[in-house]
Chains A and B, each alone.
Chain A
Amino acid sequence: TQLLEQSPQFLSIQEGENLTVYCNSSSVFSSLQWYRQEPGEGPVLLVTVVTGGEVKKLKRLTFQFGDARKDSSLHITAAQPGDTGLYLCAGTGSSNTGKLIFGQGTTLQVKP
Protein backbone atom coordinates (compact mmCIF):
# COMPACT_ATOMS: atom_id res chain seq x y z
CA THR A 1 0.00 0.00 0.00
CA GLN A 2 1.37 3.36 -1.00
CA LEU A 3 1.30 5.99 1.73
CA LEU A 4 2.34 9.63 1.92
CA GLU A 5 3.30 11.21 5.23
CA GLN A 6 3.18 14.98 5.46
CA SER A 7 4.91 17.04 8.10
CA PRO A 8 4.30 19.14 9.97
CA GLN A 9 0.54 18.76 10.30
CA PHE A 10 0.14 22.27 11.72
CA LEU A 11 2.32 25.31 11.30
CA SER A 12 1.74 28.78 12.70
CA ILE A 13 4.24 31.46 11.73
CA GLN A 14 4.61 35.22 11.48
CA GLU A 15 4.35 37.10 8.23
CA GLY A 16 7.72 37.26 6.49
CA GLU A 17 9.05 33.97 7.80
CA ASN A 18 10.10 31.07 5.59
CA LEU A 19 8.75 27.54 5.94
CA THR A 20 9.08 24.09 4.45
CA VAL A 21 6.49 21.33 4.30
CA TYR A 22 7.62 17.77 3.69
CA CYS A 23 5.92 14.86 2.00
CA ASN A 24 7.58 11.47 2.40
CA SER A 25 6.97 7.91 1.35
CA SER A 26 8.76 4.59 1.11
CA SER A 27 7.17 4.10 -2.31
CA VAL A 28 8.08 5.53 -5.67
CA PHE A 29 5.50 7.74 -7.35
CA SER A 30 5.35 8.45 -11.06
CA SER A 31 4.34 12.02 -10.26
CA LEU A 32 3.51 14.10 -7.26
CA GLN A 33 1.12 16.99 -6.99
CA TRP A 34 0.63 19.76 -4.46
CA TYR A 35 -2.84 21.11 -3.80
CA ARG A 36 -4.24 23.90 -1.70
CA GLN A 37 -7.65 23.48 -0.12
CA GLU A 38 -9.77 26.25 1.35
CA PRO A 39 -12.49 25.47 3.91
CA GLY A 40 -15.63 24.15 2.24
CA GLU A 41 -13.97 23.82 -1.16
CA GLY A 42 -12.24 21.15 -3.17
CA PRO A 43 -8.47 20.92 -3.56
CA VAL A 44 -6.95 23.19 -6.21
CA LEU A 45 -3.78 22.10 -7.98
CA LEU A 46 -0.66 24.20 -7.41
CA VAL A 47 1.95 22.15 -9.24
CA THR A 48 2.83 18.72 -10.62
CA VAL A 49 6.37 17.34 -10.46
CA VAL A 50 7.27 14.36 -12.59
CA THR A 51 11.04 14.01 -12.87
CA GLY A 52 13.30 13.00 -9.97
CA GLY A 53 15.20 16.06 -8.73
CA GLU A 54 12.81 18.43 -10.46
CA VAL A 55 12.36 21.89 -8.96
CA LYS A 56 9.44 24.14 -9.85
CA LYS A 57 8.78 27.67 -8.69
CA LEU A 58 5.46 29.44 -8.39
CA LYS A 59 6.16 33.00 -7.20
CA ARG A 60 7.29 32.56 -3.56
CA LEU A 61 6.58 28.81 -3.56
CA THR A 62 9.31 26.32 -4.49
CA PHE A 63 8.47 22.66 -5.04
CA GLN A 64 11.04 19.89 -5.22
CA PHE A 65 10.68 16.23 -6.14
CA GLY A 66 13.25 13.91 -4.57
CA ASP A 67 15.81 12.22 -6.79
CA ALA A 68 14.28 8.81 -6.05
CA ARG A 69 10.72 10.13 -6.55
CA LYS A 70 9.73 9.07 -3.03
CA ASP A 71 9.52 12.48 -1.42
CA SER A 72 8.77 16.12 -2.09
CA SER A 73 8.94 19.45 -0.36
CA LEU A 74 7.15 22.76 -0.56
CA HIS A 75 9.11 25.81 0.53
CA ILE A 76 7.44 29.20 0.99
CA THR A 77 9.62 32.28 1.17
CA ALA A 78 8.46 35.35 3.08
CA ALA A 79 5.06 33.93 3.93
CA GLN A 80 2.06 36.22 3.80
CA PRO A 81 -1.35 35.97 5.49
CA GLY A 82 -2.82 35.09 2.10
CA ASP A 83 -0.80 31.87 2.17
CA THR A 84 -2.92 30.63 5.07
CA GLY A 85 -4.66 27.38 4.18
CA LEU A 86 -4.42 23.61 3.96
CA TYR A 87 -1.67 22.25 1.73
CA LEU A 88 -1.95 18.69 0.43
CA CYS A 89 0.55 16.53 -1.36
CA ALA A 90 -0.75 13.71 -3.54
CA GLY A 91 1.06 11.03 -5.48
CA THR A 92 -0.06 9.23 -8.57
CA GLY A 93 -0.66 5.60 -7.67
CA SER A 94 1.12 2.65 -9.20
CA SER A 95 -1.93 1.76 -11.30
CA ASN A 96 -2.41 3.77 -14.48
CA THR A 97 -5.86 5.05 -13.57
CA GLY A 98 -4.93 8.53 -12.38
CA LYS A 99 -5.77 7.59 -8.79
CA LEU A 100 -4.20 9.99 -6.29
CA ILE A 101 -2.93 9.05 -2.85
CA PHE A 102 -3.11 12.03 -0.54
CA GLY A 103 -1.05 12.99 2.46
CA GLN A 104 -2.91 14.12 5.56
CA GLY A 105 -2.26 17.75 4.85
CA THR A 106 -0.47 20.66 6.49
CA THR A 107 -2.54 23.47 7.96
CA LEU A 108 -0.61 26.71 7.65
CA GLN A 109 -1.49 29.86 9.53
CA VAL A 110 0.43 33.03 8.72
CA LYS A 111 -0.16 35.77 11.25
CA PRO A 112 0.17 39.41 10.24
Chain B
Amino acid sequence: EPEVTQTPSHQVTQMGQEVILRCVPISNHLYFYWYRQILGQKVEFLVSFYNNEISEKSEIFDDQFSVERPDGSNFTLKIRSTKLEDSAMYFCASSAELPSGELFFGEGSRLTVL
Protein backbone atom coordinates (compact mmCIF):
# COMPACT_ATOMS: atom_id res chain seq x y z
CA GLU B 1 0.00 0.00 0.00
CA PRO B 2 1.45 3.40 -0.93
CA GLU B 3 2.51 5.53 1.98
CA VAL B 4 4.09 8.84 2.87
CA THR B 5 7.57 8.38 4.29
CA GLN B 6 9.43 10.86 6.46
CA THR B 7 13.03 11.15 7.56
CA PRO B 8 14.51 11.47 10.07
CA SER B 9 12.14 9.96 12.60
CA HIS B 10 13.83 11.93 15.35
CA GLN B 11 16.30 14.79 15.22
CA VAL B 12 17.94 16.58 18.10
CA THR B 13 19.52 19.94 17.35
CA GLN B 14 20.94 22.96 19.09
CA MET B 15 19.02 26.23 19.09
CA GLY B 16 20.02 28.36 16.11
CA GLN B 17 20.93 25.43 13.88
CA GLU B 18 19.30 24.73 10.53
CA VAL B 19 17.15 21.65 10.18
CA ILE B 20 15.79 19.95 7.07
CA LEU B 21 12.96 17.46 7.38
CA ARG B 22 12.35 15.24 4.40
CA CYS B 23 9.22 13.64 3.03
CA VAL B 24 8.44 11.38 0.10
CA PRO B 25 4.74 11.81 -0.69
CA ILE B 26 2.66 9.20 -2.47
CA SER B 27 3.81 9.19 -6.09
CA ASN B 28 0.64 10.26 -7.94
CA HIS B 29 -0.41 12.88 -5.40
CA LEU B 30 -0.40 16.55 -6.33
CA TYR B 31 -1.04 18.37 -3.06
CA PHE B 32 1.48 18.41 -0.24
CA TYR B 33 1.33 19.66 3.31
CA TRP B 34 3.30 20.11 6.47
CA TYR B 35 1.62 20.06 9.87
CA ARG B 36 3.11 20.14 13.33
CA GLN B 37 1.98 18.90 16.71
CA ILE B 38 3.56 20.27 19.85
CA LEU B 39 3.39 17.73 22.66
CA GLY B 40 -0.07 17.74 24.22
CA GLN B 41 -1.48 20.23 21.73
CA LYS B 42 -3.57 20.02 18.59
CA VAL B 43 -2.28 19.30 15.11
CA GLU B 44 -1.57 22.66 13.42
CA PHE B 45 -1.41 23.46 9.73
CA LEU B 46 1.86 24.97 8.54
CA VAL B 47 1.81 25.08 4.75
CA SER B 48 0.22 23.64 1.63
CA PHE B 49 2.06 23.25 -1.67
CA TYR B 50 0.74 22.66 -5.16
CA ASN B 51 2.17 23.04 -8.63
CA ASN B 52 5.60 23.90 -7.24
CA GLU B 53 4.47 26.78 -5.13
CA ILE B 54 2.99 27.51 -1.73
CA SER B 55 -0.80 27.69 -1.96
CA GLU B 56 -1.40 28.66 1.66
CA LYS B 57 0.62 29.14 4.80
CA SER B 58 -0.24 29.77 8.42
CA GLU B 59 1.04 32.48 10.76
CA ILE B 60 3.42 29.93 12.22
CA PHE B 61 5.15 29.58 8.84
CA ASP B 62 7.30 32.70 9.08
CA ASP B 63 10.53 33.63 7.29
CA GLN B 64 12.42 30.95 9.20
CA PHE B 65 10.50 28.24 7.39
CA SER B 66 10.70 27.20 3.77
CA VAL B 67 9.53 24.28 1.67
CA GLU B 68 10.90 22.82 -1.50
CA ARG B 69 10.18 20.01 -3.91
CA PRO B 70 13.62 19.76 -5.45
CA ASP B 71 13.37 16.66 -7.61
CA GLY B 72 9.74 15.71 -8.16
CA SER B 73 9.70 13.12 -5.41
CA ASN B 74 11.00 14.69 -2.21
CA PHE B 75 9.20 17.44 -0.31
CA THR B 76 11.31 19.18 2.31
CA LEU B 77 10.69 21.53 5.20
CA LYS B 78 13.62 23.70 6.24
CA ILE B 79 13.85 25.63 9.47
CA ARG B 80 16.69 28.10 9.11
CA SER B 81 17.47 28.94 12.72
CA THR B 82 15.66 26.69 15.15
CA LYS B 83 14.13 27.97 18.37
CA LEU B 84 13.18 26.03 21.49
CA GLU B 85 9.51 26.45 20.62
CA ASP B 86 10.05 24.65 17.29
CA SER B 87 10.28 21.39 19.22
CA ALA B 88 7.36 19.33 17.96
CA MET B 89 6.31 16.39 15.82
CA TYR B 90 6.23 17.46 12.18
CA PHE B 91 3.89 15.58 9.86
CA CYS B 92 4.02 15.58 6.10
CA ALA B 93 0.82 14.76 4.20
CA SER B 94 -0.22 14.42 0.60
CA SER B 95 -3.49 14.26 -1.26
CA ALA B 96 -4.56 13.30 -4.75
CA GLU B 97 -7.44 15.73 -5.07
CA LEU B 98 -9.27 18.68 -3.54
CA PRO B 99 -11.28 19.84 -1.74
CA SER B 100 -12.21 16.86 0.43
CA GLY B 101 -9.67 14.37 -0.79
CA GLU B 102 -8.13 12.16 1.82
CA LEU B 103 -4.90 13.37 3.32
CA PHE B 104 -2.37 10.63 3.85
CA PHE B 105 -0.02 11.43 6.71
CA GLY B 106 3.50 10.22 7.27
CA GLU B 107 4.57 8.87 10.63
CA GLY B 108 6.16 12.16 11.56
CA SER B 109 9.57 13.56 12.40
CA ARG B 110 10.14 14.45 16.02
CA LEU B 111 12.28 17.58 16.34
CA THR B 112 13.87 18.37 19.68
CA VAL B 113 15.60 21.74 19.97
CA LEU B 114 17.97 22.11 22.93
Contacts and interface: CB of A to CB of B under 8 A. Distances in A.
A98 interface: yes
Contact of A103 (B42, B48, B100, B103): B42
Interface residues of B, number: 27
A48 to B, nearest CB: 5
B33 A31 contact: no
Interface in B79-114: 91, 93, 95, 98-108
B41 interface: yes
Given A31-B99, A42-B91, A99 B108 contact: no
Given A40-B108, A41-B108, A42-B108, A96 B98 contact: yes
Chain A interface, DSSP helix/strand/loop, else mixed: loop
Interface string A40-62: 11111100101000000000000
Chain B interface, DSSP helix/strand/loop, else mixed: strand
B93 to A, nearest CB: 7
Interface of A: 30-31, 33, 40-45, 48, 50, 88, 90, 92-93, 95-105
A44 B48 contact: no
A3 B20 CA distance: 30
Nearest to B95: A98
A105 B42 contact: yes
B66 to A, nearest CB: 18
Contacts of A104: 41-42
B82 to A, nearest CB: 22
A39 B98 CA distance: 28
Nearest to B40: A104
Given A40-B108, A97-B48, A88 B100 contact: no
A7 to B, nearest CB: 13
